[in-house]
Every structure is written in C-alpha cells, then in structure tokens.
Structure 1
Amino acid sequence: MPNLNDLTALALPNGSRLVADETQSRLHLSLEGQSLIELRLTREPDVQVQVEKRFDTPESQALWATCYWLFARDPACQHLTFQLQQSPADALASGLLIPTDTAGQYRCERTLFWQLPQPWLSQAQADTFPQQMVISGGKRHPLRPLKPRGEVYRRFDARLGGWISLRTLDIDLDLGRFNRWQNSPRVASFWQEEGSLEQHREYLSKLEADPHTLTLIGCFDDQPFAYFEAYWAKEDRIAPFYDTGDYDRGIHMLVGEENHRGPHKVASWLSALTHYLFLDDPRTQRVVAEPRADNGKMIKYMQDQGYHCEKEFDFPHKRAALMMLGRERFFDRCKLA
C-alpha cells in the first residue's frame, strides 16, 4: 500500500488532481496545474494554518482543498486551526470552518469535514427528503425517497492508491456476476442463496421493487468486486430485535472477487459503505448489520472499523450478531484518507 508520507497528489471524483508541494512549514496546492493556495504551517502542538497567497479561485474551494489534503495526509489529525484576515462566509455557512473565541481564528474539525456530502456523493440531495410517517407491512416508518440509479459514491483511497466507488445494481448488467458470486462455496456458506440465473433474477427483481432496500455494487478502480444490500432497518426483519431509529440503515455484505479479499480491502470498502449511508441522510444515527454469530472474521473486521457487537439473537434461519455503529462514533474516530 502507498505510504501516506510520500503522498504528492490526490484524485477527486470529478477526475481532477489535487497536487501538493509540501515541506514541514509550507504547503502549495494546485488543481489541474492551476495554483489554488499557498500556506504557512505550524505543526506543533496542533496544525496551525496561515494563508500566504490565494490565487484566482473561490475561497471556499481553496480552503476545502487544504483541509482535504491535510486530513488525508495524516488520518490521525483531528483538527486544523486557520488564521484568516476576513471572515470566510461560505466556509462558515457549510460547516467546513467554525469560529473560535479568538478574532480571525477558525477551525476545521475532522468530524465535521467528513460529514460534508460533496464531492463524495454522486447524487447528493439538494434538501433532506421531508418526513411523513406511513404504514407498510404492518410497520410504521418514514416515507422513503425514490431509490437512486447509477453511481452514488466515489472517493480516492489514499492508503490503497485507488478508487473505491458504489453504484446501484443493474440486473441486466450484473446478473451474471451476482449468480457466480452466490454460487461460490465460500459465499454460499454464509448467504445460502445458491441458484440459477432465473432464480437470482427473481431475487434481485423483488429487491428492486422493494422501497426499503437498495442493492449496490462495490468497485475498486471501477472493477466490480462486491455486492451490498443497504436497507432501512425500521421496515426490516431486524426491527423487533433492538430499539430501531426511524432512519437507521442496515447492511448485508458479499465480496465476490477473491483478489479483493483481505483486511486492507475490507477497511476501504466497509468505511466507504458506512460513510455513504451516513451521508445519504443526515438523520441516520446508526448503521447496523447482522452477520452470523459464528462469522468471527467479519465480526472482527467490523470491530476494527468501529462497530461493536450489541448482542447475539436468533433469526429463524441463523444465530446472528447485532453489529452497530453510531454516527457520532464513526465521525469522531473517522480515519478516512
């Protein structure tokens, strides 16, 4: 995996490249060959940032790029302190920066930065979908928005040196690989969904018509490697087993391609999937999962990403571990790079 200490450039979802010329005390950032900003840095005891020169770009763009670079460069960095001559109105309005008690001093907090939906969400809602309570299947829950189509999330993973992205499943495009993945003995031992192409077409068609479940394909560098189901927990079979929030999301996970297994790959896709679900609706306070209780490897991977095992419980078809991660814990301990 790439060494973050050797990082000199980051790719952005729109295809542009953020390039840095960095020393211990100075940082120059450019985007697609156009200079953005020059800064003086003081790194002890915390990172202090002073703008020396800003070029012909919007202030909020240059400040965002600075925060992104410094947080991606050092996943342990929790906040940045900026000295600015004028109040950064757009950055304050978005939550990118927050004022301090010192005049001209502003902070960027990692926990706030990674909650900003752009540019990671490909189809960010302009506004939060309004709430109206409805009843379906005997369960009372919020009316859900229409499900997206196409790519929904993209981020360059600096640790892997490549893209992690999520797109919605296309039955015509993805049926063959879904069938192959489900019929592999490793996957079948946990999912127990072996079957023919037609059986799997029926399975996916039912989920496509179900407003509470979103089927996703995970990609590394645009190559499909995994299948995920993201569901609204309130309407799901998991709801009776814990105090379910109206906007809790749950996940089912399947890595189909053998060359994309391993803890470093899980850390990338699981953090991306969780990040996407928290960004998709700011009212989502928890992401949950219910792997088989004897799937110790997956439980350990989830714990490494901040999930905890709330309890074990019995579904009709399996003994399950209720894995849970709260929004506050995810962003407070966020190590995205």
Structure 2
Amino acid sequence: MPFDAASPPLNVPRWHNLQADEVDQRLSLTLEGRPLITVRLARGDSVEVHLEQLCPERPQQALWAACYWLLSRDPACQRLAWHLPQPVLQAVASGLLLPGAAPGRYVCERTLFWQLPQPWLGESPSGVYPQQMLLTDGKRHPRRAPKPRGEVYRRFDARLGAWVSLRTLEVEQDLERFNRWQNNPRVMHFWQEGGSLAQHREYLDKLAADPHTLTLIGCFDDQPFAYFEAYWAKEDRIAPFYPAGDYDRGIHMLVGEEAHRGPHKVASWLSALVHYLFLDDPRTQRVVAEPRADNAKMIGYMQGQCFHCEKEFDFPHKRAALMIIGRERFFERCELA
C-alpha cells in the first residue's frame, strides 16, 4: 500500500516513491510528487539540519523521512542535530527526536532511530507483552506472546534496490518449497533434515505447536528464497551452554534459492532478520546462533554483520560455534539502508 498524503499514518511506506532533490546544501523530499519537507544542511560535529518547510498534515512522518534519508545514505553518521522553530510533540514522545540543550534544538540518534518499530513492523501488534514466569521441562522462562501470522517485517534495501521482507511460514503454502530446500545436498550437509513431504509436514506442524519457535520465510521483492527459525533461547537446547537471558532470541538459517546466495544478499537478509527480532520485543538484548563449527563461510558472514564467536561447544549431533550479537552493538554498528 503506497505511502501518500491520503494514507493512514502507520501504513508501511513504499520508500522507492520517496524522491530527493539536493542543491546548495538544501534537501527537499517529496512523496508521490507531493512536497514533504525541505531542510538546509550544514556540517559540524554532527549533521546540522535546519528546517525550512514541513508538510503540515503529517509533520511526524516528514521528520522521520528526512532522518531516514540522511541516516540510511551515510552509515557512519551517528546523529542529526535538528533546528526546529517549534517542537513536534509526537517526534519527541516517540524517541525520534531528543530535546537538546538549547531551545529549538533537537537530536536524532542513529541508535534510537533504527529501534523505532514503525514502519518496519507494519501492522504487527505494538507494545510489550506482559511478563509471567513459567516452568517448562525444568526451564524457567517468561510466558511467550501468541505467534504472529502473515508479514512481520518489510524494509527497502537501497544497497540491493529490492524489498526484503519476512512472513510467517504457512504449511499448506510452503511445504513443497521447504521440502525442496531441505533435500538440496548443500542444505542437507548442514541441516541434516532431508526427508519426504510427510516427514516435513510433521516437522513443521511440531514447530507450529511449539510456543518457543517461530518459522519464517524470507523474501526479496516478495519472492521466497529462505527459511528461518527464530526461537527463544531460554527454552531451547542452547540454554545450558551460555547464560541465556529471558528474552534472548536464537536463529537457524537456510537459503534455499541458489540465485540469492552470496555475501551481499546475506548482509541484507541477516541484518533484516536480526533487526526484526530486536524490534519484536525491546527486552531482547541478544540474538544468538549455533552454526556448525566447520561452516566457516556462514561464520564469516555473521562476523561481517558484527556477531562474535563466544566459543565452540558440543551438541550431541554437532560441534557448534556460539555466535552472539548484542542489542547495543547491533544498533551502533548496523548498516541498514
């Protein structure tokens, strides 16, 4: 659904319709040909952004769009110093802008901007699910929120010129695809889950009934290319091997379509997957993974996205590398675009 002057404020924007004109240190943004915001830019300790014109119908989204444009085009930029003639209360209340030391001065911090759940999560439920501790199979953990259905994340990746999105797996829709991917010899080497359609239906039905695991399909421009499992680490087999936090998430990853392999694609979908998990619950402080220790290529890709290898350890079925990325490190170092 396009983001234009008639759309509701929380609709996911189609940012390829966001157009920029930059002349003499002035940046003007338009959406669907309609003026949105004009600012004058100056370089100092941070990027100084002086507001000149603002769309009166949607000032919050206009400010968001300008922050998005300036931060996504320059991954090294850590903050924007805004100069506004009057405050935009919603921008301050949401954390998009922080009040500065001087009147009329506000700061947009990169580490806060990418933690704002909208528009990346679309119409997914917002807010924090209440905490109640449970005991399952001897493991004490929080009660988990009901699993979402449908698309849970969408972002336009300017580096690829493509949409990267995540949706929940639907067995009837995705079983044949999942079966084909799992029986690929390259995938079988690491996943060891080859089998028949009946076996894979049983596998996916079991995960669907498991509250600690969410099965996801990764898409580029709405074409499925990968399968992911996101799990709560506290209830998982990984928990005994490190001090798992109550809201740590873990990931299993499978790229099924050969055309979407390669480091530039991994940088896009891995950052999107981790971004989604950190946005899904603001209490999540770490995302972990346990690839096979001999999967040097994947470990290298993960290190390229700021994961670090904590240690190697032994599962009953494999020697694994414990890969971890913390929330603070991700939002300080992420190169989302």
TM range (shorter): over 0.9
Matched, 1:120 2:120: yes
| Corresponding residue of 2:288 | 288
Corresponding residue SS for 2:29: strand
How much does 1:124 deviate? 3.1
Corresponding residue SS for 1:210: coil
| Corresponding residue of 1:207 | 207
| Corresponding residue of 1:90 | 90
Corresponding residue SS for 1:148: coil
| Corresponding residue of 1:180 | 180
How much does 1:93 deviate? 0.5
Contact 1:218 1:227 in 2 (8 A): yes
**Residues 18-167 of structure 1 correspond to what in structure 2 (within 5 A)?**
18-167=18-167
AA aligned opposite 2:322: L
How much does 1:77 deviate? 1.2
How much does 1:76 deviate? 1.6
Matched, 1:225 2:232: no
TM-score (norm 2): 0.95
Unaligned runs of 5+ in 1: 1-11
Unaligned runs of 5+ in 2: 1-10
**Separation (CA, whole Å) in 2 of partners of 1:283 and 1:198:** 37
| Corresponding residue of 1:4 | none
| Corresponding residue of 2:237 | 237
Matched, 1:246 2:246: yes
How much does 1:57 deviate? 2.5
Contact 1:13 1:156 in 2 (8 A): no
**Separation (CA, whole Å) in 1 of partners of 2:114 and 2:134:** 32
**Separation (CA, whole Å) in 2 of partners of 1:177 and 1:30:** 40
How much does 1:87 deviate? 2.1
How much does 1:37 deviate? 1.0
Cα 1:128–1:210, aligned 2, differ >3 Å: closer, same or farther? same
Q: What stretches of structure 1 move > 4 A for 4+ residues in a row?
A: none
AA aligned opposite 2:317: H
Contact 1:190 1:292 in 2 (8 A): yes
Q: Deviations over 1:209-263 (max 9, x none)?
A: 0000000000000000000000000000000000000000000000000000000
**Over aligned residue pairs, what C-alpha RMSD do you find?**
1.2
TM-score (norm 1): 0.95
Corresponding residue SS for 1:179: helix
Contact 1:46 1:80 in 2 (8 A): yes
**Separation (CA, whole Å) in 1 of partners of 2:14 and 2:334:** 24
Number of residues of Structure 1 aligned to a counterpart in Structure 2: 326
Aligned-pair identity (%): 71
**Separation (CA, whole Å) in 2 of partners of 1:277 and 1:24:** 40
